[in-house]
Amino acid sequence: MKGIKKLVVMATVIGVLGIAGAAYAATDLNPAQIVSGLTGKTVDQIYEERAAGKTLAAIAKDEGKLEEFKVSILEQKKKVLDQRVAAGSITQEQADKVYNSIKSNQAICNGDGAPASGRGIGLGFGQGGGNGMKKGMGNGSGAGFGINR
């Protein structure tokens, strides 16, 4: 009887955590969605501009939203890093290194640079039509941080 009660309690806790996690994940935005929200353009319009060679930072800059874009991207990346530390896939030291690298890149970001200027850390935050923050550790050959100078 005690075993069944423990099983029911564990299943309930797991279910609640799963629902809370899904709700939290639903609020995560990829970089294109962030630019879309800041500029009022659709995500499809953002992807069209990206396909034409414009960086997300340049798109935000053109709309006078570069600083807001950088703040939003930094917040989003911090969330991902915190999730990865909590999951045990990276250490806090690794997360701090990536976070500080992103902040350094943002300090010199003027919206005019080349895509993927943050290469080297290799956490696989990704670019393109996915959710913008891919899982897994890389060896420095990842697609950068999505912040373009």
DSSP class per residue in the chain: -HHHHHHHHHHHHHHHHHHHHHHHHHT---HHHHHHHHH---HHHHHHHHHTT--HHHHHHHTT-HHHHHHHHHHHHHHHHHHHHHHTSS-HHHHHHHHHHHHHHHHT--S-S-TTTTTTS------SSS-S---S--SS-S---S---
Judge whether 3 lies within some domain. Answer: no
Identify whether 125 is part of a domain. no
Q: What is the model's pTM?
A: 0.60
Q: Is residue 99 part of a domain?
A: yes
Domain count, the chain: 1
Which range of residues forms the domain containing residue 96? 29-107
Q: Decide if 103 is inside a domain.
A: yes
Report if residue 42 sits inside a domain: yes
pLDDT tens-digit map of 39-89: 999 999 999 999 999 999 999 999 999 999 999 999 999 999 999 999 999
Task: Give the tens place of pLDDT for each residue, 75-89.
Answer: 999 999 999 999 999
pLDDT at position 19 is 44
